[in-house]
Structure 1
Amino acid sequence: MPAVSAAPAVPVPAPPRTLGAGLLLTVLVVAFESMAVGTVLPRVADELRGLALYGWASSAFLLSSLFGAVLGGVLGDRRGLMWSAGFSLAVFAAGLLVGGLAPTMTVFVLGRLIQGLGAGGLGALPFAVITTRYPEAQRARMLAAVSSAWLLPALVGPLIASLIADLWSWRTVFWGLVPVLALVAPLCLWPLRGPAPRVGGRAESQTALLWPALGLAASAGALVEGLRSPGLLGGGLVALGAAGTALTARRLFPVGLLRFAGGLPTALAVRGLAAFALLGTNSFLPLALNELRGLSLTAAGWVLSLGGATWTLGSWVQAQVERRLGAESRPLRVRVGLGLMATGLLTSALAVLGGLPLWAVYPAWVLACLGMGVGYNSNSLYALAAADPGESGRLSGQLANIEVLCVAVAAGVGGALIARLPLERAFTVAFGVTLLAAVLGWLAAGRLRRG
C-alpha cells in the first residue's frame, strides 16, 4: 500500500456528496468480495475439479493486490486520481467477470489475479482521495466511514455468499457485483475530474517502489508454486522465491524485521505472524469444515461471520483498555490478544480434526478472532507510535504489505499441503503451521517493550 500524499497547503473545498457515496460504495463492493470468497471456494474447487489450485485462488489475489496498490499510486500521482480509480475499477470488474465465467480452475485463478490487481488500487484509493479532496475538518469523519464500510461485509459477507451459492450459484457472487460497480463508478469518478497533479518527489518515490513491489509479488508467487510442485523444480522455485522475497523485502520493510529487532521491526513482524496464523487458517477453514466434518457452506459461513463480529468486539475492547490504562498497556495487550488467538486456533483445530465435538469450533473461532481484535489493533497503535515523525504514510504501506505478503504465503502453504497430501493429514499439518506462527508471534511480542 503506497504512502499517503501530503496534505495540500491551500484550503481544500468540500467535495460533492456523490464522491463520498461513490467512495464508500466502492469500498463496500471490494470488502464484500474479499470477505465472501473464502466461503464459496470449496464449491468452486469441487465444481471445477481444481483442489490442487485451491491455495492459489487466495494467493494470486493477495500478491497481485500488493503490486496493484503501488501501481494505483503511481497512476494517481502521474495522471490524476480519476485515471487511477477508473483503471482499478475496470480491472476489478474484468477480474470478477473472468472468475464468475471461468470454465476451469486455472482460469478462475487468473480471474482472482486480475481482481487483486484492481482491488489493490481501490484499497489505497480512499486514503489518497480523503487526503487531497477533503478539508481537514472532514477527514477524520471520512476515515471512520471508510473503516465502518469494511465492518458490514466482515459480519455478513461470508453468510450472504454461502446463501447465494446455495440458492443460485457461486458464480453469482462474482459476476453479480459487476452491475453494482457499473452504477457506483460514475459517482466515484465524476467528482475526481481535474488536471493531473504536478509530478514531484512523491511520484518519483512511488515509481521507485514499483519494481520492488513487483519483485516481491513475483518472488512470493515462486515460493508458493515451489511448495506446491514436487521434485527438483519445486525445490528450485522455493529457493529462488525465498531469496527473491528476502532481497525485495529489504526495499519495502525496515532493517531488523527478520531478527525481531525491538520497536517498529518487531511490531511489523508480529503483525505478519498474526495475519499468517489467523487469516491463513481462515483461508482453508471452510474447506476443512466441509470436507472433514460435512458442514454446509452456510454453516461454515456462520463460523466466519461470528469471527468477523468478535474481531470487531475485540477492537472495541482494546480501545476501552487504551482509554483507561493508556499507551503503556499496549505491549501487554498484544501478548494477551495473541495468547487468546493461539488458544482459539488450537481449540478450532481440535474441533475440526475430531479431537473435540464439532460445536466447539464456534466458540473457539470466536475466541481466536476476539484475541486478534485485541492484539492486532494494539500492535498497530504501538507501530504508529514507534514510527518517526512524518513517516505515517510509509508505515501504513508497510503494515498493509506485511499482512498481504504473510497471508498470501500462508494460503499458499495450505494449498500446497492440500494438493500434495491426503486431506486429513494436509489439514493437520496446515493447522500446525498456523499455530506455530501464532506462538512465534506471541513470543516476538515480548520484545515490544524494548522499542
Structure 2
Amino acid sequence: MTLTRTSPADGEAPPQALSIGLLLVILIVAFEAMAVSTVLPRVANQLQGLSWYGWASSAFLLASLFGAVVSGLLSDRRGLALGAGISLGVFAAGLLVSGLAPDMPAFVLGRFIQGLGAGGLGALPFAVITARYPEARRARMLAAVSSAWLLPALVGPLLASLMADHWSWRTVFWGLIPVLALAGPLCVLPLRAPASAPQSSAEEPATASHPRTLWPALALTISAGALIEGLRRADLPGAVMIGAGLAGTLLSARPLFPRGMGRLARGLPSALVLRGFAAFAVLGANAFLPLALHELRGLSLTQAGVLLSVGGVAWTVGSWVTDQLERRSGPESRPVRIRAGLVLISLGLGVTALSAMGVWPLWSAYLGWCVTALSMGVAYNANSLLALSSVPAGGAGRLSGQLANIEVLMVALAAGASGALLARVPSLPTAFALAFGLMLLGSMVPWVAATRLRQV
C-alpha cells in the first residue's frame, strides 16, 4: 500500500481513536495469524481434509499478496478510509465463511477471502502512519505497532487451543468478528477527514506504479496457486499444472522483483532471495509443526500452542537483540550477524525436526524452536536493514513491497509443498520427515545468498 495524497502538518497529532483503532486491527490480524496454526490440526481432523492442509495456509497467503495491491490501489484513488473499510469487511466475511465451513474446501475458500482482506490490513499501518502522523510521532507509533504482535504471540496459540478444547475451533473465527466491529469505526472514521497538508511530489511515482503491478500480482497469485495444486495431485492434469504454474510464477514475478535474483546478483537481489528462503524454511515449518507434534508425539493443541508462543516471543527478542547490536556494532556488523543467524536457524530446525520425529526427547523441540525463532529475529531484521540501505530514500516504499511479497510467496509455496507431501505420501511419519527435510534444504540456500550481500 502506498501513501494517499495528503500528509499531516508538522506537530499535528491525529485523533486518539485512530491510534486505538489501528492497534486493534493489528492485534486482530496478529491473533488470527497465531491462532490458525494452532487449531488447524483440529480443523483438518473434524472436516476430514488432511489432503487440503497445505491449502489452508497457501490460499490465505497468496490472496493476501493480491489483496495488498488492490487495497493500495483503492486507497490511492479513493482514500485510505475506503481501502481500510473494504479490507475490514472482506476479512470479516472470510472469518464468517471459515467459521461456518461444512468441509475443508469451504474452509479454504474462507481462508482465501480472509487473505484478501488481511493483505490490505497488513499494509495499512505503514500507510496511515506515514500519511497521518507527524514526523515526531511516527517512530513511537511504529514501535507500538511492532509491540502489538507480542501479546498475540504470547497468548494467541494458548487462547485459541483453549477455545477449541472447551467450545469449538469455529469460535476462534467467530470471536474476532465483534472485535472487528469495534475496531472498524475507530480506524475508518478518522481516516475520512482530510489531512492538513499536501503530499510532496516526490511520493507521486509510487502511486503511479500500482496499476502496473496489479495484473502481475494477479498472475502471480493464480500461477503459484496452480503450481501448489499441481503438487498436490498425482495425475496428468497435476503435471500440466506444475509446468504451467512454474512458468507463470517465474514470468509474473519479473515485474515485481529486481533482476538478478535467479543468479544471486550482488546486493539487493541476494538480500531478497535470502529473505524469501529464510521465510520458506522457518514459517513453512511453522505451518505444519503443530500437526507434526500432535500426530507424531501426541501433544494436545494447547501443548503445541505453547511451542508457537515460545517461538513468537523468541523472534521478538531476536528483533530487540538486533536493535542493540546495531547500536553497539554499527551497520558494518550486519553481514556477520546475518550469517551467524542463518547457521543457527538451520541448527535449530534440525533439532526441532529430530524431536518432532521422536528421535530426540520432546523438550528439545522447545529448545530447537526457540533457537530457530531467536536467530530468525536477528538475521531477518539485519538483512532488512541491509536491504533498505542499498536503495535511495525514494525507493524505500517499493522495497518494502518487494520484501513483503517475496516472503508471502515463498511461505505459500512452502506450505503448499509440505501439504502436498501430506496428501500424497501414504505414511504420515515419512511425509513429515520429507517436509522437515525440504525446510532444512531451504534454510541452506540463504547461506549462499549471504556471501553475495555486499554490493559491487
Q: Which of residues 269, 293, 296 is equivalent to 2:297? A: 293
SS in 1 for 2:393: coil
Report the equivalent of 1:214: 218
Distance in 2, matches of 1:4 and 1:323, equals 30
Give the aligned residue type for 2:115: G
* Alpha-carbon distance in structure 2 between the residues aligned to 1:6 and 1:312: 33
> Identity over aligned residues, as a percent?
64
Taking a change above 3 Å as real, the CA distance of residues 77 and 7 of structure 1, as seen in their structure-2 partners, is closer
| Contact kept in structure 1, 2:74 and 2:83, CA below 8 Å | yes
Counterpart Cα distance in 2 of 1:4 and 1:247 = 28
* SS in structure 1 of the partner of residue 368 of structure 2: helix
What residue number does 1:437 align with?
442
2:15 is matched with 16
Letter in 1 for 2:239: G
For 2:135, the equivalent position in structure 1 comes to 136
Cα-to-partner distance string for 1:187-244 (whole Å, 9 max, x where unaligned): 1111111469999654431121111111111111011001001122111111111111
Q: Distance in 1 between matches of 2:21 and 2:263?
A: 43
Per the alignment, residue 124 of structure 1 pairs with 123
Q: Distance in 2 between matches of 1:256 and 1:323?
A: 31
* Selected match of 2:315 from 311, 318, 337: 311
- In structure 2, relative to structure 1, the CA distance for the partners of 1:393 and 1:4 (3 Å cut) is farther
Supply the distance in 2 between the matched residues of 1:345 and 1:426 (Cα, whole angstroms).
Answer: 16
- 1:369 CA displacement: 0.8
Return the alpha-carbon distance in structure 2 between the equivalents of residues 191 and 269 of structure 1: 39
The question of 1:190 aligning with 2:189 is answered: yes
Q: In the aligned structure 2, how far is the partner of 1:203 from the partner of 1:372?
A: 32
Q: Does structure 2 retain, via aligned residues, the 8 Å contact 1:5–1:202?
A: no
Identify the residue that residue 105 of structure 2 maps to in structure 1.
Answer: 106
Match of 1:336 among 332, 340, 348: 340
Listed as ranges, the gaps of 5+ residues in structure 1 are none
Asked if 1 retains the 8 angstrom alpha-carbon contact of 2:3 and 2:131, the reply is: no
Aligned-partner Cα distance in 2 for 1:442–1:202: 32
Deviations 1:417-443 (A, max 9, x none): 000012111101100110001111122
In the superposition, the TM-score normalised over structure 1's length comes to: 0.96
Q: 1:3: Cα distance to partner?
A: 4.1
- When structure 1 is superposed on structure 2, of 300-309 and 438-447 the one drifting more is 438-447
For the 8 Å contact 1:39–1:161, the answer to whether it is kept is yes
**In the alignment, is the contact (CA less than 8 A) between 2:2 and 2:76 conserved in 1?**
no
2:242 to 211, 235, 238: 238
- Give SS of 1:362's match: helix
Distance, in Å, in 2 between the alignment partners of 1:14 and 1:78 is 24
Displacement of 1:185: 0.9
User: Is the 8 Å Cα contact of residues 92 and 117 (structure 1) preserved in structure 2?
Assistant: yes
Q: 1:369 aligns with which of 373, 384, 390?
A: 373
Residues of 2 paired with 1:190 and 1:389: CA distance?
A: 31
Q: Tell me the distance in 1 between the aligned counterparts of 2:46 and 2:217.
A: 34
Mapping for residues 60-99 of structure 1, pairs under 5 Å: 60-99=59-98
Measured in 1, the distance between the counterparts of 2:362 and 2:413 equals: 28
Distance, in Å, in 2 between the alignment partners of 1:210 and 1:12 is 35
Instruction: Tell me how far apart the structure 2 counterparts of residues 229 and 264 of structure 1 sit (CA, whole Å).
Output: 36
Quickly say closer, same or farther: Cα 1:296–1:410, change in 2 above 3 A: same
Classify the secondary structure of the residue corresponding to 2:451: helix
Distance (whole Å) between structure 2 residues aligned to residue 339 and residue 78 of structure 1: 45
- Please tell me whether the aligned partners of residues 71 and 87 of structure 2 are also in contact (alpha carbons under 8 angstroms): yes
- Hey, what's the Cα distance between the residues in 2 that align with 1:79 and 1:137? 27
Q: Any conservation in 2 of the 1:95–1:111 contact (CA below 8 Å)?
A: yes
* CA–CA separation in structure 1 for the residues paired with 2:398 and 2:4: 10
For residues 7 and 268 of structure 1, do their structure 2 counterparts lie closer, same or farther at Cα, with a shift above 3 Å needed?
farther
1:346 corresponding residue in structure 2: 350
CA distance in 1, matches of 2:246, 2:268: 23
> Cα distance 1:391–1:81, how it changes in 2: closer, same or farther (>3 A)?
same
C-alpha contact (below 8 Å) 1:6/1:131 kept by paired residues = no
Shift in Å, 1:142: 1.2
Alpha carbons 2:3, 2:207 under 8 Å: kept: no
User: CA shift at 1:325, angstroms?
Assistant: 1.3
The code of the aligned residue for 1:414 comes to S
Cα distance in 2, alignment partners of residues 131 and 371 from structure 1: 30
Residues 98 and 111, structure 1, Cα contact 8 Å, conserved in 2: yes
Hey, what's the Cα distance between the residues in 2 that align with 1:29 and 1:446?
A: 38
Aligned 8 A contact 1:303 1:362 in 2: yes
What residue in structure 2 maps to residue 265 of structure 1? 269
Q: 1:354 to 1:17 in 2, by over 3 A?
A: same
Query: Whole-Å Cα distance in 2 between the matches of residues 213 and 265 of structure 1?
Result: 19
Q: Which residue of 2 aligns with 1:59?
A: 58
1:229 to 217, 226, 233: 233
Q: Would the aligned equivalents of 1:4 and 1:394 in 2 still touch at CA under 8 Å?
A: no
What do the CA deviations read for 1:226-271 (whole angstroms, capped 9, x no partner)?
1001122111111111111111111111101121111111011000
Q: Does 1:170 align with 2:175?
A: no
Query: Distance between the aligned counterparts of 2:371 and 2:40, measured in 1?
Result: 24
Q: For 2:224, give the aligned amino acid.
A: A
- Pair 250,3 (structure 1): closer, same or farther in 2 beyond 3 Å: farther
- Residue matched to 2:147: 148
Q: TM-score, normalised by structure 2?
A: 0.95
Q: Once the 2 structures are TM-superposed, how far is the Cα of residue 390 of structure 1 from its aligned partner?
A: 1.1
Measured against aligned partners, the alpha-carbon deviations of 1:57-83 in whole angstroms (never above 9, x if no partner) come to 000000000000011101101111111
| Residue number among 446, 451, 454 corresponding to 1:449 in the alignment | 454
Gap change, CA 1:305 and 1:147, over 3 Å in 2: same
Q: Which amino acid aligns with 1:433?
A: L
Distance 1:223 1:268 in 2: 21
- 1:316/1:307 CA distance change after superposition, 3 Å: same
Amino acid at match of 2:169: W
Give 3-state SS (helix, strand or coil) of 1:449's partner. Answer: coil
Matched letter for residue 17 of structure 2: T
CA contact (8 A) 1:67 1:214 kept: yes
What SS class does the counterpart of residue 236 from structure 2 fall into? helix
